[in-house]
Structure 1
Amino acid sequence: MTWKLGLYALAATVAAAPALAQDAKTLAIVVKGLDNPFFEQINLGCQKWLADNPGSEYECLYTGPASSADEAGEVQIVDDLISAGVAAIAISPSNAPAMANRIRQMAPSLPIMTIDADFLEADRDLRKTYLGTDNYLMGVKMAEEAAKLKPEGGSVCLQLGNVAADNINARAQGFRDTASGEKGIERLTGQKGWTEVEGCPVFTNDQADLANQQMSDVFTANPDLDAFILIGGWAQFAPQAYAQVTDQVMDKLKSKDLIIIAGDTLPPQTQAFRDGRSHAQVGQRPFEMGLRAPDVMLQLLKGETVEDPLYTGLDVCNQDDPGFCKDN
């Protein structure tokens, strides 16, 4: 599902969507934070489902805490939804253990699925399926792109999100395993030439302003850095700040002495790629997640067997093949 459909062509459709029935049963999608533009694409998918299903006895409700840093707030929202008697919930857990603990306490039998981010493996009995990216594979793709540009390896910094976010940690593991050629690597210490610099990884708590400040600090502290890996796209979600940060190292980016590989392909990010402010983008498909989630929840409510996991695919843009990033 392209961004042009997911963002622009939808405007008129969503605006014209019929009002929800007063007694509609709720299929809730709860994301980590409403301040993250990635999740707004999930919202647009949810709204498209509503527009495509007029008169349904079910509504798709998109919600989450105002800030992606509010892990407790997300747990409280799920708590409130369960108390209100929602039909089913799709959750992108910011703090996977905390969310799982609450679900186990309150609603172990409620139709629960995860979307975008999963529970930890030990808690996956609490949900029926996961819909979203194969996050380990996403990390693998990032490492493959880095290896194309730096076949001898080099010094690297990984930028992560929340410490307890299962999806982000899976990407980091995929990157480290692929870069090193070994499984279960906790930190790159010279394997295949890759070494994580002191002070990294850095954790953004899903905050764009913090992400950009961290990038600037890492560039200053490590003038010979070979690679910076945005495991998620946080810094690029604030394009003006990201441009200012990358202006500091544009000569190195142009010469590929320093490479930047980033997650996601939102419009500001594909623009950054076209402007030479990243060398590769590995994108997810959040609109598809939001569009498919209500139908999956309906399947669960009907007692149907649902495949687990349900992967939504990846879009890779690089210097040899701009692909998706060329005109989105």
Structure 2
Amino acid sequence: MKRVLSLLLVLAMAGLAGCSGSPTGGDTAGGPKEGGGDKPEIVVVLKTVSSQYWKFVEAGAKKAFADLGVSGKVIGPASEVQVMEQVNMLEDVLSQNPDALVVAPTQPSTAIPVFEKYKEKGIPVILIDTDAGWPDQTTFIGTDNTTAGMQGGKLLSSMLQPGDKVALISGALGNPATDARIKGAKEVLEKAGMVVVAEQPADSDKAKAMAVMENILQTTPDVKGVFCANDDMALGALRAIEAKGLKIPVIGTDGTIEAVEAILAGSLAGTVAQRPFDMGYKGVEAALKVVKGETIPKRVTVGVDLITRENAKEKLEFLKQIEK
């Protein structure tokens, strides 16, 4: 009988010891993070996840997750104008304590106060696509947007004559990436002798760009060329132009599949292609290196490609490969 009682007492003590830990089995001190096992957790926050350009960035990030053994996710608002929605997402991610943040800030000045909170928690912040100019950012990976705009302005000016009137369609107000592209294009176009007769925002939205272009054509029917700070706006502007039965060269920026197909069809004149897949991949790659304690450059430029009808087919094949 004493042996039975002793055995029961041992079993009871073992049961109590087993219940003393966390009921989730992954929240004890020094244990793996929830959902990530022993893998580093990296969250990527984009300006939006609804446009083709940002889907390429997302594809690059997800490929890096798989290749590099990272537990990660990609999130973003429904559109680029939802600045506060992105800020709220950043706050929510902060509460989850990831190992690193990769982010394309829609409005850096609004996001920086949240970045300061990441700094306080010791979470590295890697910027992609849009530089915040924040002294404590770990690195910036992306295109020199002023140079991209200059390349677009150069391509458009090669199709025009000095004295021709041109229109510039920019993104959401306060978006430094699209603002820089417009600045670069304007500088080159004016140096080439073009006259900028309109400079209006269209929030990186196709429908809004179409409406903006319709208004421009009403006030300046003799406009000879258009530069747009992204491809969705270029395609919207093109719709308005074609609806009037006009043939005006339009240059976009980003190098999306739809834009490249429009170039092959002979409707869009060209686009300045960024390398969004590379931005997403390299952003995660850089974040992982920092998490491991490695030193990385403060700035990484991924470059741009000019796409015209001569090289559009080759570019389209590549884009369709990474879209899969």
TM range (shorter): 0.7 to 0.9
Larger Rg: 2
Q: Which residue does the alignment assign to 1:61?
A: 73
Q: 2: CA distance between counterparts of 1:194 and 1:247? A: 22
Q: Which residue does the alignment assign to 1:41?
A: 56
2:67 paired with 1:52: yes
Offset from partner CA, 1:119-172 (integer Å, 9 cap, x none)? 1x3x2x131111111211101101110121114142111111121111111111
- Aligned amino acid, residue 46 of structure 2: V
Number of corresponding residues: 283
- Aligned amino acid, residue 242 of structure 2: D
Offset from partner CA, 1:11-63 (integer Å, 9 cap, x none)? xxxxxxxxx7456432111111122221111111122123324xx3x312111
Q: Which residue does the alignment assign to 1:89?
A: 101
Inter-CA distance 210–313: structure 2 relative to 1 (3 Å threshold)? same
2:253 paired with 1:263: yes
CA contact (8 A) 1:113 1:127 kept: yes
In the TM superposition, what is the alpha-carbon distance from 1:73 to its structure 2 partner? 0.7
Inter-CA distance 261–105: structure 2 relative to 1 (3 Å threshold)? same
Moved over 6 A (4+): none
CA contact (8 A) 1:49 1:60 kept: no
- Aligned amino acid, residue 36 of structure 1: S
User: Which of 95, 110, 133 pairs up with 1:98?
Assistant: 110
Percent sequence identity over aligned pairs: 20
Offset from partner CA, 1:168-201 (integer Å, 9 cap, x none)? 11111211222234xxxxxxxxxx432222xx32
Q: 2: CA distance between counterparts of 1:52 and 1:25? A: 13
Point out where structure 2 has 5 or more consecutive residues left out of the alignment: 1-34, 320-324
Inter-CA distance 297–202: structure 2 relative to 1 (3 Å threshold)? same
- Aligned amino acid, residue 136 of structure 1: T
Q: Which residue does the alignment assign to 1:150?
A: 160
Q: 1: CA distance between counterparts of 2:264 and 2:222? A: 24
Q: 2: CA distance between counterparts of 1:246 and 1:303? A: 53
- Aligned amino acid, residue 89 of structure 2: I
Q: How does 1:1-328 map to 2 (within 5 A)?
A: 21-22=36-37, 24-53=39-68, 56=69, 58-105=70-117, 107-108=119-120, 109-119=122-132, 121=133, 123=134, 125-181=135-191, 192-197=192-197, 200-235=198-233, 244-250=239-245, 252-253=246-247, 258-319=248-309, 322=312, 324-325=314-315
Q: 1: CA distance between counterparts of 2:147 and 2:190? A: 15
In the TM superposition, what is the alpha-carbon distance from 1:278 to its structure 2 partner? 1.6
Point out where structure 1 has 5 or more consecutive residues left out of the alignment: 1-19, 182-191
CA contact (8 A) 1:130 1:308 kept: yes
3-state secondary structure, aligned to 1:193: coil
Inter-CA distance 153–83: structure 2 relative to 1 (3 Å threshold)? farther
